[in-house]
Amino acid sequence: MKKLWGGRFSEIADESLDNFWNSIGFDHRLARYDIRGSMAHAAMLAKQGIIPESDNDKIQAGLREILTDVEAGKIEFSLTDEDIHMNVERILHERIGPEAAGKLHTARSRNDQVATDMHLFVRDEACRGTIELLHGLQQALQEKAVEYADVIMPGYTHLQRAQPVLLGHHLLVYLWMLQRDIGRLEDCYKRANVCPLGAGAIAGTTFPIDRQATADALNFATIYPNSMDAVSDRDFVIETLFCNALIAGHLSRFCEEIILWMSNEFGFVALSDKYCTGSSMMPQKKNADLAELVRGKTGRVYGSLIAMLTVLKGVPLTYNKDFQEDKEGLFDSVDTVQRSLFHLTGMVRTIRVNAAVTRKAASAGFLNATDVADYLAKRGVPFREAHEVTGKLVAYCLKHGKELDQLTLEVLQQFHRNFDHTVYADIDLDIVVNRRNSAGGTSSTQVQAQLQQATAALAETSAWLTTRPLLGT
């Protein structure tokens, strides 16, 4: 079949090469954006007197019909037509005739066309869509943080028990991680919200187009000031891939903790059967497979970022076929992150915490040792001396199978004369937690204040989403 661009060609690629370099197998996903961009472009051409209004009417009607059929799954795209742009244009030719359809591509190139499609996809699906899912997971984490706000558990460093914390405090860590992810995507949204349409192949066009009109029609904030930059920029793709990589890393850390906490060795939490699997051989097994799979998928999200960084590192200005590689990795990255967020949100809502087990774990292992040292420091003992004394007390406890709060005052005073009976109140588990009342600390008062901050942050995200509707809604 003759290509729409094939006027100067006497030979065409064989079918095996078509299979290698044609992109319709994956860029069909951009169909709605490609059609919306074409509708905006045709309307602008008519407004500027570049094509007759009657042709624009036919083009608009034809494109709306194609869009309806695409969304209904009625369109079968053709490999022969290479990409989504040629497929849509070919279908439009068939439906409204070549005379009107042939005018649609006036004053544009596939270079600025695909860049526009990618900007719309990143802006609406990759940024806004992922923010919405991040927001949902944050809400689930907040609900659990409220439910288990006062449950005491061990906090860890080096995966060794360190100090007691409230479980609500621990869960809110991930809410704030996701809040930073939202902030990065909101920032990425700004750079995706720039319109390349009208840049042409590289140098603009001789037609008297109105680039701002097409930008406005597609809800873009502004246009690229440089036509060469417009068609060659893929920074917004890399930014999205980086944001996704960081989200995947955060989800992986969370999943790692859930996997540990669910194990018999910890026993801190239980998950719904819906998010676990069993063993084909060992009937007793209940595996946290969703958490494991999300943890595993982090590698492919990282890989998409590295691949795109490598594609762009040596590409000269402006458009090159290399840019076709920006799509599959981006689509996969977005899908992987969004599906992970969706399913983890459901999993979080099913988590049940064994508060007795977490408290018992926090009561053992000398998690109040810092408070013993602080007790002495507040009584005039240099902290380094207090630290050494407490270390010797811990060694004594290990030798005699005791915890610090089980030592008699007589034993304590053998290690330092500044101990008196008030030490036992200072190292009580509940008091140890609630005396950490510095801003951002783990006391009940501070966790409640943090929950209020979280509520405000979630409200800000809700407002952001409300003011940025999807194209065509």
Final residue of a structural domain among 307, 328, 360: 360
Residue 193 lies in a domain: yes
- Please report, for the domain that includes residue 391, its CATH number: 1.10.40.30
- 410 and 302 within one domain: no
The pLDDT tens digits of the residues spanning 271-287 come to 999 999 998 899 989 99
Whole-angstrom distance, CA of residue 301 vs CA of residue 250:
12
Whole-angstrom distance, CA of residue 15 vs CA of residue 3:
13
pLDDT of 3: 60
Residue 130 lies in a domain: yes
Quote the domain boundaries for residue 412: 363-450
User: Which regions of 135-206 does DSSP assign to beta strands (E)?
Assistant: 152-157, 160-166, 194-195
The pLDDT confidence band at residue 23, using thresholds 50, 70 and 90, is: confident
Name the DSSP letter for residue 275. Answer: G
Whole-angstrom distance, CA of residue 128 vs CA of residue 188:
10
pLDDT of 318: 94
Whole-angstrom distance, CA of residue 212 vs CA of residue 203:
17
pLDDT of 9: 59
- Please report, for the domain that includes residue 64, its CATH number: 1.10.275.10
Which is nearest to 356 in space by CA: 445, 257, 269, 433? 269
- Please report, for the domain that includes residue 214, its CATH number: 1.20.200.10
Final residue of a structural domain among 64, 87, 106: 106
Residue 464 lies in a domain: no
- 369 and 354 within one domain: no
- 178 and 238 within one domain: yes
Residue 415 lies in a domain: yes
The answer to whether 211 touches 240, Cβ cutoff 8 Å, is: no
pLDDT of 21: 65
- 228 and 295 within one domain: yes
- 290 and 148 within one domain: yes
- 76 and 25 within one domain: yes
| pLDDT for 2 beyond 80 | no
- 430 and 282 within one domain: no
The answer to whether 228 touches 203, Cβ cutoff 8 Å, is: yes
Encode 151-172: b = buried (16+ Cβ within 10 Å), e = exposed: bbbbbeeeeebbbbbbbbbbbb
The pLDDT tens digits of the residues spanning 230-277 come to 999 999 999 999 999 999 999 999 999 999 999 999 999 999 999 999
DSSP reduced 3-state for 77 = coil
- 215 and 66 within one domain: no
The pLDDT confidence band at residue 452, using thresholds 50, 70 and 90, is: very high
| pLDDT for 399 beyond 60 | yes
- 273 and 225 within one domain: yes
Q: Which residues contact 297 (CB under 8 A, 6 or more apart)?
A: 248, 336, 340
Across the chain, mean pLDDT equals 95
The pLDDT tens digits of the residues spanning 177-209 come to 999 999 999 999 999 999 999 999 999 999 999
| pLDDT for 15 beyond 70 | no
Beta-carbon-side half-sphere exposure of residue 432 (alpha carbons within 13 Å)? 29
pLDDT of 10: 60
Residue 291 lies in a domain: yes
| pLDDT for 151 beyond 60 | yes
Specify the number of domains making up the chain: 3
Whole-angstrom distance, CA of residue 5 vs CA of residue 9:
9
Residue 458 lies in a domain: no
- 177 and 155 within one domain: yes
Residue 380 lies in a domain: yes
Whole-angstrom distance, CA of residue 418 vs CA of residue 198:
79
Whole-angstrom distance, CA of residue 384 vs CA of residue 406:
24
- 372 and 275 within one domain: no
Which is nearest to 289 in space by CA: 265, 271, 269, 264? 271
> What is the rounded average pLDDT of the residues 6-29?
73
Predicted TM-score (pTM) above 0.85: yes
| Active site residues per annotation | 158, 279
How many other C-beta atoms lie within 10 A of the C-beta of residue 124? 22
Instruction: State the DSSP string of 5-34.
Output: T-TT-S----HHHHHHH--HHHHGGGHHHH
The pLDDT confidence band at residue 13, using thresholds 50, 70 and 90, is: low
- 102 and 251 within one domain: no
Final residue of a structural domain among 360, 392, 422: 360
The pLDDT confidence band at residue 329, using thresholds 50, 70 and 90, is: very high
Residue 396 lies in a domain: yes
Amino acid identity for residue 112 in this structure: D
